[in-house]
Structure 1
Amino acid sequence: MDPKITACISAASIVLTAVYFFGIVPWTKLIALCLCTGYIPWYFDGGPMRTDRSWPAFQKAGFWKAIGRYFPSRIVCPYKLDPKKQHIFACHPHGVGSINHGLTLTDACGFISEVFPVPRLDLSASVIFRIPLWREICLWLGCVDASRSMANKVLRAGFSTLILVGGEQEQVRARPGPGGHAAFLRARKGFCRLALAHGCTLVPVYAWGENELYATSRALLGPRLAVVRALRVALPLFWGRAWCPILPKKHPLTLVFGKPIDVEKVSGEPSKAQIDALHTRYIQALQHLFEETKEEYGKQPTATLKII
């Protein structure tokens, strides 16, 4: 641990001891201060940049299945996923809260125990690791920082990964209905570079129902997109249940996996031509998955997928 952090913890411990003996604050507040002080080492332990912070027992806890039944939710994977190969699952749409990600981070729908029982660490936005306690939950679920260096570290260590490719751009654009399907892909090619560099099978994934979980507003969309570009932080305007706006609506959520794209590992750094070719293949595979499943699982036969 950084010596400065260690020094701060030691100083805080001395102060708390003095506070206790001189009765400066009530004992209940002292307990709260002690808990906060004890949490500091965990908050600064570099967890988002490590590969050893996931907690399989937590991911498979029974209460996740109860949460999954709330929507209800399910996973549809008609193709055999080879457990001997590394996979990069590229998922759309992000939606307001990326609730669909919970279906693979946990065993809510049997993904971990039945569909793909292989070690996996998923790339997640850096901002979520700045929120105390929520940070720990994400780490236990197998999330790591979505930086390029961490992505390569995860794949070099032999893990598979899932990426919400559209990220904040899809989050701030999320809207329900047949006309709300958009995949922010034109400028996102890093996942293709990773697949080529590490020889990972690339799997398109679409989350039907994700955009229906919250009503959204397009008010001030321009300024909010500017915030996304400048700060990499999304500010969606949304509401869920009438009595609790942050709670998602009870709408069926179905995560559908497309046909895996076999990718041959290239020697050295992937070229622009190789990345562009795989990117084109992926877009075609995603569009095919969308068209093939929009009526059965999306219940939106007139829906179209916009690639932006």
Structure 2
Amino acid sequence: MKTILAAYSGVLRGTGSSILSALQDLSLALWPCRSKMEKQLQAMSVLQWIISFLVMGITCTVLLIYTFCTDCWLIAAIYIAWLILDWNTPKQGGRRSSWVRNWTVWTYYRDYFPIRLIKTHNLLPNRNYIFGYHPHGIFCFGAFCNFGTEATGFSKKFPGIRPSLATLAGNFRLPVLRDYLMSGGICPVNRNSIDYLLSCNGTGNAVVIVVGGAAESLHCAPGINAVTLKNRKGFVKLALQRGSDLVPVYSFGENDAYRQVIFEEGTWWRAMQKRLQKILGFAPCLFHGCGLFFGNSWGILPFCNPITTIVGEPITVPKIEEPTREMVDLYHAMYIKSLQSLFDKYKTRFGLNESDILYIQ
């Protein structure tokens, strides 16, 4: 109110620079703080991604079925006909959109945490790569922002490299959601899809696999540095068969996005989680974040903790169509050693202690 009166009196006395300056002062007094508005936009951008990932596919499926019961059934029939014709597109490189990957909403998404991408080595465009992303967290916020969008400038930092983040194949069976995911360069995490990108799509491809998967999400919580990797060797065998270099990637802060209730091994709840994981393909976790309008309330929004993704040094892998178990074990051991070295080199820069270690499960 004092700002309004001062601006008004200044114009009356002739001491104000102009009516325009008085109106500017008035607008500052009436409108909410710019930083608060930006924070709300950042929260909304993250919320729309979470809701899209959780319910868009199911909602669109229900709407499609409902449309068949209305006078607009022809629209639904045409869409399903097109869906049948387009069914294999996700397995054949997808349909990425530079326009979608560069939406302004992703910059708000990035700044909410914030999320950073750090490059440690150059990647040659005449090679293909398999990025092993760790840890999974609850929603893989860092993986999506860095590799499913251009918010952190992946294409500028790694010119000539096209990232393809691999996620559950079941998501690509749901209408509309499949197209939304493909527009970001996201692909199904199955053999056919990854094989196509690494062998039939030229060079300069980087398939990003969250190696720990759903099993790893059951162990994520703030302060826990553990990855599920000891018995995950399929991605190493695939890299050998296609001659694609292995690149370890670690995101500091990914596990700090939510507070999760972790059930002990052997309990009924943990057994139920594992059973549902096998049936659904993902692990139902009991977690909470913060509310949309009040940071100290419980909600589905993640906490505003920084996430920093480090892309490590590539491990050169020869092409061996039928690699032996010993060969797979050798490169798997090399990958684990490289990931641990990456973690140890950068841990103290991002809030961890020198005594903290990375547990390989």
Using the size of structure 2 for normalisation, the TM-score is 0.71
AA in 1 matched with 2:164: L
Structure 2: how far apart are the matches of 1:136 and 1:72? Answer: 27
The 1:271–1:185 alpha-carbon spacing in structure 2 relative to 1, beyond 3 Å, is same
Checking the alignment, whether the CA contact within 8 Å between 2:147 and 2:164 is kept in structure 1 is no
AA in 1 matched with 2:322: E
The structure whose Rg is larger is 2
Q: Which moved more, 1:220-229 or 1:67-76?
A: 220-229
Matched residue count: 280
1:87 is aligned to 2:168: no
The 1:298–1:130 alpha-carbon spacing in structure 2 relative to 1, beyond 3 Å, is farther
Using the size of structure 1 for normalisation, the TM-score is 0.83
Aligned to 1:261: 315
Pairing of 1:155-166 with structure 2 (within 5 A): 155-157=198-200, 158=202, 159-166=205-212
CA shift at 1:89, angstroms?
0.8
CA shift at 1:37, angstroms?
4.9
SS of residue in 2 equivalent to 1:121: strand
Aligned to 1:173: 219
Structure 1: how far apart are the matches of 2:74 and 2:256? Answer: 43
Structure 1: how far apart are the matches of 2:287 and 2:218? Answer: 10
CA deviation string 1:126-179 (max 9, x = no partner) = 2322444332221111122211122212211233211111111112221111xx
CA deviation string 1:98-124 (max 9, x = no partner) = 111121211111012333442333321
Structure 1: how far apart are the matches of 2:192 and 2:118? Answer: 32
**Identity between Structure 1 and Structure 2 (%):** 31
The 1:257–1:36 alpha-carbon spacing in structure 2 relative to 1, beyond 3 Å, is same
Match of 1:67 among 94, 109, 120: 109
AA in 1 matched with 2:209: I
AA in 2 matched with 1:173: H
1:306 is aligned to 2:359: yes
SS of residue in 2 equivalent to 1:69: helix
CA shift at 1:197, angstroms?
1.1
Structure 2: how far apart are the matches of 1:35 and 1:245? Answer: 37
Pairing of 1:1-308 with structure 2 (within 5 A): 20=71, 36-37=76-77, 39-41=79-81, 43-44=83-84, 45-46=86-87, 47-102=89-144, 103-157=146-200, 158=202, 159-177=205-223, 180-219=224-263, 220-243=269-292, 245-266=299-320, 268-308=321-361
CA shift at 1:41, angstroms?
4.1
CA shift at 1:15, angstroms?
7.0
Q: Which moved more, 1:53-62 or 1:224-233?
A: 224-233
AA in 2 matched with 1:258: G
Aligned to 2:30: none
The 1:56–1:40 alpha-carbon spacing in structure 2 relative to 1, beyond 3 Å, is same
CA deviation string 1:157-211 (max 9, x = no partner) = 233211111111112221111xx12111122111111111111111100011110
SS of residue in 1 equivalent to 2:341: helix
Checking the alignment, whether the CA contact within 8 Å between 2:147 and 2:165 is kept in structure 1 is no
The 1:42–1:15 alpha-carbon spacing in structure 2 relative to 1, beyond 3 Å, is closer
AA in 2 matched with 1:134: L
SS of residue in 2 equivalent to 1:294: helix
The 1:288–1:139 alpha-carbon spacing in structure 2 relative to 1, beyond 3 Å, is same
The 1:67–1:218 alpha-carbon spacing in structure 2 relative to 1, beyond 3 Å, is same
User: Mind listing any 5+ residue stretches in structure 1 that lack a counterpart?
Assistant: 1-11, 21-29
SS of residue in 1 equivalent to 2:310: strand
Structure 1: how far apart are the matches of 2:350 and 2:270? Answer: 29
Structure 2: how far apart are the matches of 1:50 and 1:149? Answer: 8
Structure 1: how far apart are the matches of 2:109 and 2:325? Answer: 43
Structure 1: how far apart are the matches of 2:106 and 2:288? Answer: 23
Checking the alignment, whether the CA contact within 8 Å between 2:68 and 2:76 is kept in structure 1 is no
